[in-house]
């Protein structure tokens, strides 16, 4: 039996988590996997209820679980108040630190069925299949913060061991993929970047079969748009990874398709790369795919890759047959719940569902 701590969070979080649970329960049934879910508060909803963005109870439950599945965090009521002392995002940052989640892994693929749905030219997107390894518990996010009336400072620092542990994971992944690793930094300006570069140069000696490239972050931002297929594994520090992963999501067609896994020293955490998207919260319009695909990464991590593959296949099938939400389907979108239902139906069918027999309103066959 595997214990899953579920943290729906804010905005569209509860809706997309609902669909991911549906997929997990269906695939668990099919593969005889026993999953036990427990639900806990984080983010703005935790502030509203308990006065803090994350409680000890939530942290303990995550530490005691085999994996954590998180929805999204953030509420606009905190966004435009620079003086707010308590913020929903602190819940996520605290949890990342408590769980030691040093490696955030964000795969970006452009499916053949999405090439004409992105704002980029279709020919640019052929063969795009990359993965971002973003350092998650160091750098400017976690350095000393100082503030007075007319001054503020966020310190960016890295120790060699913080670089080495994620770099090793990224090299191993590159070895299993197309054997190319790109370190993104700003080594022409920043000391921390120069430390990253020297550690990666050193480590590359242990991985002679991996070709290593070095790109400044400003150039990398441009290369991601003009020649995205050149990338295999991108390794970068916390803040650059945050920015580049949102940019890279455009290559997949929607931020709503991008899953992520955060791996570390304690329980690993799986969450969509998107935020709480309050504009469509409670409207049953959000794309649940990123969270459902994060659940597939969770299953891979727990040692059930076949179950993970079933989920990915079902999401691909929905995309192929346009059972998709309005972010990637402007002609005939389905709701968040309906897309989740379609994923579950496709997973559970012994004989695979035929798209031409599916009634979109009721999905009866």
Residue nearest Mg ion by beta-carbon distance? 242
Instruction: Count Cβ neighbours within 10 Å for each residue of 114-146 and write b for 16 or more, e otherwise.
Output: bbebbebeeebbeebbbbbbbbbbbbbbbbeee
User: Which backbone phi and psi does 268 adopt, to 5 degrees?
Assistant: -85, 155
In this complex, which beta carbon is closest to ligand IPM, that of residue 100 or of residue 355? 100
Query: How far is the first Cα of the chain from the last one, in angstroms, to the nearest whole number?
Result: 33
246 is catalytic: yes
Q: Is 73 in the site for ligand IPM (CB under 6 A)?
A: yes
DSSP 354: P
Q: Which does 89 bind (CB under 5 to 8 A by kind): ligand IPM, Mg ion, none?
A: ligand IPM
If one asks whether residue 92 binds ligand IPM (CB under 6 A), the answer comes out as: yes
Residue 145 a catalytic site member: no
92 versus 347: smaller Cβ distance to ligand IPM: 92
Tell me whether residue 117 is one of the annotated catalytic residues: no
CB of 73 to ligand IPM, least distance (A): 5
The one of ligand IPM, Mg ion, none whose footprint includes residue 100, by CB under 5 to 8 A per kind, is: none
Nearest to 42 by CA among 94, 98, 80: 94
Exposure string of 7-36, with b = 16+ CB inside 10 Å and e = fewer, is bbbbbbbbbbbbbbbbbbbbbbeeeebebe
Q: Which is nearer to Mg ion, 25 or 247 (CB)?
A: 247
| Token duo for residue 38 | 């427990």
Should residue 242 be labelled a site residue for Mg ion when binding is judged by CB under 5 A? yes
**Interacting partner of 326 out of ligand IPM, Mg ion, none (Cβ under 5 to 8 A depending on kind):** none
Choose the one of Mg ion, ligand IPM, none that binds residue 327, judging by a C-beta under 5 to 8 angstroms depending on kind: none
List alpha helices for 279-350, DSSP H: 289-301, 305-320, 336-348
- Is 141 noted as a catalytic residue in this protein? yes
In the bound state with ligand IPM, the residue whose beta carbon lies nearer, of 25 and 89, is 89
Asked if residue 242 binds ligand IPM (CB under 6 A), the reply is yes
The tokens of 315 are what?
Answer: 């999401």
**Do 52 and 85 form a contact (C-beta atoms < 8 A)?**
no
Catalytic residue list contains 209: no
The binder of ligand IPM chosen from 89, 154, 213, 300 (CB under 6 A): 89
**Do residues 258 and 288 lie in contact, with contact meaning Cβ atoms separated by under 8 Å?**
no
C-alpha triplet 142, 242, 138: angle, nearest 5°: 25
CB 144, CB 283: distance < 8 Å: no
**Choice among 154, 164, 213, 246 that is catalytic:** 246
CA separation, residue 349 to residues 226, 276, 344 (Å): 41, 32, 9
With CB cut-offs between 5 and 8 Å by kind, which of Mg ion, ligand IPM, none does residue 15 bind? none
- The yes or no reply on residue 237 touching Mg ion (CB under 5 A) is no
| Residues in 258-297 that interact with ligand IPM by CB under 6 A | 275
The residue among 242 and 271 lying less far from Mg ion, judged by its C-beta, is 242
Cα(343)–Cα(318) distance, rounded to whole angstroms? 7
Bridge pairing between strands 211-216 and 180-185:
parallel
Active-site annotation holder among 186, 277, 304, 327: 186
If one asks whether residue 166 binds ligand IPM (CB under 6 A), the answer comes out as no
Catalytic residue ranges: 141, 186, 218, 242, 246
Residues lying near ligand IPM in the complex (CB under 6 A): 73-74, 89, 92, 242, 275
Residues lying near Mg ion in the complex (CB under 5 A): 242
């Amino acid at each position: 039996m595997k214990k899953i701590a579920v943290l729906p969070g804010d905005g569209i979080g509860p809706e997309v988590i609902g669909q991911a649970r549906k997929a997990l329960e269906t695939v668990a049934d099919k593969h005889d996997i026993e999953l036990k879910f427990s639900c806990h508060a984080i983010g703005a909803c935790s502030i509203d209820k308990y006065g803090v963005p994350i409680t000890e109870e939530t942290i303990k439950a995550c530490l005691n679980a085999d994996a954590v599945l998180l929805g999204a965090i953030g509420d606009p009521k905190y966004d435009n108040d620079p003086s707010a002392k308590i913020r929903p995002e602190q819940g996520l940052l605290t949890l990342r630190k408590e769980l030691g989640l040093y490696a955030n892994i964000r795969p970006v693929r452009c499916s053949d069925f999405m090439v004409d749905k992105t704002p980029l030219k279709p020919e640019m997107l052929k063969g795009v299949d990359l993965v971002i390894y973003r350092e998650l518990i160091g750098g400017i996010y976690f350095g000393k913060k100082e503030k007075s009336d007319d001054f503020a400072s966020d310190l960016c620092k890295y120790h060699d061991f913080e670089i080495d542990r994620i770099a090793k994971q990224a090299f191993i992944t590159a070895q299993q993929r197309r054997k190319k690793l790109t370190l993104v930094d700003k080594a022409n300006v920043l000391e921390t970047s120069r430390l990253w570069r020297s550690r990666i140069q050193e480590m590359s000696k242990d991985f002679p079969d991996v070709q290593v490239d070095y790109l400044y972050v400003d150039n990398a931002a441009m290369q991601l748009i003009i020649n995205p297929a050149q990338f295999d594994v991108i390794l970068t520090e916390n803040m650059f990874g945050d920015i580049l992963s949102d940019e890279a999501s455009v290559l997949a067609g929607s931020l709503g398709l991008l899953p992520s896994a955060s791996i570390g020293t304690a329980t690993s955490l799986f969450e969509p790369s998107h935020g709480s998207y309050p504009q469509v919260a409670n409207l049953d319009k959000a794309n649940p795919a990123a969270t459902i695909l994060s659940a597939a990464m969770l299953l891979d991590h727990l040692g059930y890759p076949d179950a993970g593959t079933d989920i990915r296949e079902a999401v691909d099938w929905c995309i192929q047959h346009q059972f998709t939400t309005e972010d990637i389907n402007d002609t005939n979108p389905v709701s968040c719940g309906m897309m989740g239902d379609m994923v579950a139906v496709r997973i559970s069918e012994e004989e695979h569902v035929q798209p031409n027999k599916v009634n979109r309103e009721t999905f009866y066959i």
